[in-house]
Amino acid sequence: MDFNDILQCRRTIRRFAQTPVADADLRALLEAARLASSAANRQPLRYIVVRTPELVAKLLPLTAWAARVAPRRTPRLGESAPTAFLAVIAPTDAHSEWTQADAGAAIQSIEFAAVERGLGCCWIGALQREKLAEVLQLPPDRKLLYLVAVGYPAETPCHEDATSPEQVGYYLDDHDRLHVPKLTVDQLTTWR
């Protein structure tokens, strides 16, 4: 797979096969994350790998999945749930904008590395963070920024050119395939 294939193929996955992901593959995703850009190269982010079925089952109800495509893309335990989560953690007192930017760079790298391995991800920001902090046993000086759900995809979403900035809502077609409209370079860009 060349890099353009990875760019084109990466889509958020919300329906997963129930095949566990090997620890070596999860580790490879974190290898990608650790090499990402970081403001002033401070590297404030830390990660917790959750891949035991017991802990995955505790985290899943504390996550929210795209309402636009619910309930068909709301993962169910034992049927379509991710088999792992990567928790992205930051110091409570970290500069929030730059730490958020670091998280973006790291998570995007995780997503690309996942595609190369035949895995899929969902970057999840809609989280019950206080409850998750308890389940993950975070100390008071650490906060949960995001979860990244990981697993083998059981859907094949695709992107298409958006016709206008108002029409970016993703949708399931008559064959239950997820379509994700993306604005074109011309819609997004001014050249000076």
By CB under 6 A, name the binding residues for ligand FMN: 11-12, 14, 64-66, 122-126, 157, 170, 180
Q: Please tell me the distance from the alpha carbon of residue 165 to that of residue 55, in angstroms, as a whole number.
A: 39
Torsion angles phi and psi, residue 43, rounded to 5: 55, 60
Q: Which is nearer to ligand FMN, 14 or 51 (CB)?
A: 14
The nearest distance, CB 121 to ligand FMN, in angstroms, is 9
Query: How many Cβ atoms from other residues are within 10 Å of residue 76's Cβ?
Result: 10
**178-to-13, 38, 160, 175 alpha-carbon distances in Å:** 9, 32, 11, 9
The nearest distance, CB 100 to ligand FMN, in angstroms, is 9
The nearest distance, CB 192 to ligand FMN, in angstroms, is 28
Q: Which is nearer to ligand FMN, 28 or 122 (CB)?
A: 122
Query: How many Cβ atoms from other residues are within 10 Å of residue 9's Cβ?
Result: 17
Q: Which is nearer to ligand FMN, 8 or 19 (CB)?
A: 8
Asked if 36 and 106 count as a contact pair (C-beta separation under 8 A), the reply is yes
The nearest distance, CB 5 to ligand FMN, in angstroms, is 15
The nearest distance, CB 9 to ligand FMN, in angstroms, is 10
Q: Which is nearer to ligand FMN, 107 or 191 (CB)?
A: 107
Helices (H), the chain: 3-9, 23-34, 53-59, 96-116, 129-135, 185-188
Q: Which is nearer to ligand FMN, 49 or 101 (CB)?
A: 101
